[in-house]
């Protein structure tokens, strides 16, 4: 049984707590938060502390706090020679204090506290300085996920920037779509099947092959009409830039 102490109870650790507590290969022996929290009824038996000096013994301490806080927090953690991991895509393993054994346990998914995720399908990117610790993270990952991959900090930084494009930017484009429709009182959910099919399609086709639309077809009349329909200057710029990228790529 791998014993974990979870540090922080935000989007990531609220899901990780469920996954680790529900596996018979892992146990959450304690949760630390700096603020008061309300745990779901099912997990209220998990010991909770707001005092770092009361941290229990564990095989691994999972620090899922804001990226900017990781370095200072790990330096002030009253532990020595313990396995301390962070869960960030964009932060190097070197941003953890060397007074402990360092690692990374990055679940490659977008988490919000109140949404349901299928943890088993989430790739877990692991990294550790020590091969024994790497093996422990591999085992902990396999307890909660079907896909655990060894990824170093440089590779993880690349994955993170790619993830910003395919998740954060795409989500903002959803917002732009919603905003355009709102002006005429058209409900956003009319686009939901299209959004779902777009995501679903790349399970079988490469993004390059899945591309459709006026830019790909080089349909100049439609592109011009769309530019006239857009009143927001920034949306026009985004439309023009993405159109240019698609046209240039597919003209090759």
Ligand X SMILES: NC(=O)c1ccc[n+]([C@@H]2O[C@H](COP(=O)([O-])OP(=O)(O)OC[C@H]3O[C@@H](n4cnc5c(N)ncnc54)[C@H](OP(=O)(O)O)[C@@H]3O)[C@@H](O)[C@H]2O)c1
Distance between CA 159 and CA 27 in Å, rounded? 29
The yes or no reply on residue 55 touching ligand X (CB under 6 A) is no
Closest distance to ligand X from the beta carbon of 123 (Å): 11
The yes or no reply on residue 33 touching ligand X (CB under 6 A) is yes
The yes or no reply on residue 64 touching ligand X (CB under 6 A) is yes
Pick the piece of the chain touching ligand X (CB under 6 A) from 30-38, 54-62, 181-189, 236-244: 30-38
Q: Around Cβ 88, how many Cβ atoms within 10 Å? A: 21
Site string for ligand X, 7-26 (x = CB under 6 A): -xxxxxx-------------
3-state secondary structure 70-105: HHHHHHHCCCCCCEEEECCCCCCHHHCCCCCEEEEE
Closest to ligand X by CB, 140 vs 246, is 140
Closest to ligand X by CB, 34 vs 236, is 34
Write out the binding residues for ligand X, residues 170-189 only, by CB under 6 A. none
Closest to ligand X by CB, 65 vs 215, is 65
The yes or no reply on residue 34 touching ligand X (CB under 6 A) is yes
- Strands 124-128 and 101-107 come out as antiparallel
With CB under 6 A as the contact rule, the residue among 89, 122, 133, 137 that binds ligand X is 89
Closest distance to ligand X from the beta carbon of 227 (Å): 34
Pick the piece of the chain touching ligand X (CB under 6 A) from 82-90, 93-101, 196-204, 235-243: 82-90
Cα–Cα nearest to 4, from 56, 81, 71: 56
- The H or E element containing residue 125 is strand 124-128
* Number of alpha helices (DSSP H) and beta strands (DSSP E) in the chain: 10, 8
Closest to ligand X by CB, 163 vs 230, is 163
Exposure pattern of 124-139 as b/e (b: 16+ CB <10 Å)?
A: bbbbbeeeebeebbbe
Closest distance to ligand X from the beta carbon of 174 (Å): 16
Pick the piece of the chain touching ligand X (CB under 6 A) from 4-12, 118-126, 145-153, 195-203: 4-12
- Residue 88 has φ and ψ, to the nearest 5°, of -95, 145
The yes or no reply on residue 69 touching ligand X (CB under 6 A) is yes
DSSP 196: H
Distance between CA 21 and CA 46 in Å, rounded? 9
Write out the residues near ligand X by the rule CB under 6 A. Answer: 8-13, 33-35, 64-67, 69, 73, 86-89, 106-107, 110-111
């Amino acid at each position: 049984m791998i014993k974990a102490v979870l540090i922080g109870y935000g989007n990531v650790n609220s899901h990780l707590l469920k996954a680790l507590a529900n596996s018979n290969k892992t146990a959450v022996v304690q949760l630390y938060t700096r603020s008061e929290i309300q745990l779901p009824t099912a997990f209220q038996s998990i010991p909770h502390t707001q005092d770092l000096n009361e941290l229990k013994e564990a095989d691994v301490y999972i620090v899922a706090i804001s990226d900017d806080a990781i370095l200072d927090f790990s330096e002030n953690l009253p532990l020595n020679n313990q396995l301390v991991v962070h869960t960030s895509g964009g932060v190097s393993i070197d941003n953890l204090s060397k007074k402990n054994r360092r690692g990374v346990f990055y679940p490659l998914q977008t988490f919000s506290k109140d949404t349901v995720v299928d943890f088993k399908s989430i790739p877990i990117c692991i990294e550790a300085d020590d091969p024994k610790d790497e093996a422990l993270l591999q085992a902990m990952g396999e307890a909660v996920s079907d896909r655990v991959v060894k990824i170093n900090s440089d590779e993880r930084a690349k994955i993170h920037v790619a993830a910003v494009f395919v998740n954060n930017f795409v989500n903002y484009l959803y917002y732009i779509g919603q905003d355009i429709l709102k002006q005429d009182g058209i409900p956003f959910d009319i686009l939901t099947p299209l959004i779902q099919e777009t995501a679903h399609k790349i399970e079988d086709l490469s993004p390059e092959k899945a591309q459709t639309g006026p830019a790909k077809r080089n349909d100049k009349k439609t592109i011009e009409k769309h530019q006239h329909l857009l009143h927001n200057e920034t949306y026009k710029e985004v439309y023009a830039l993405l159109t240019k990228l698609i046209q240039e790529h597919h003209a090759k």
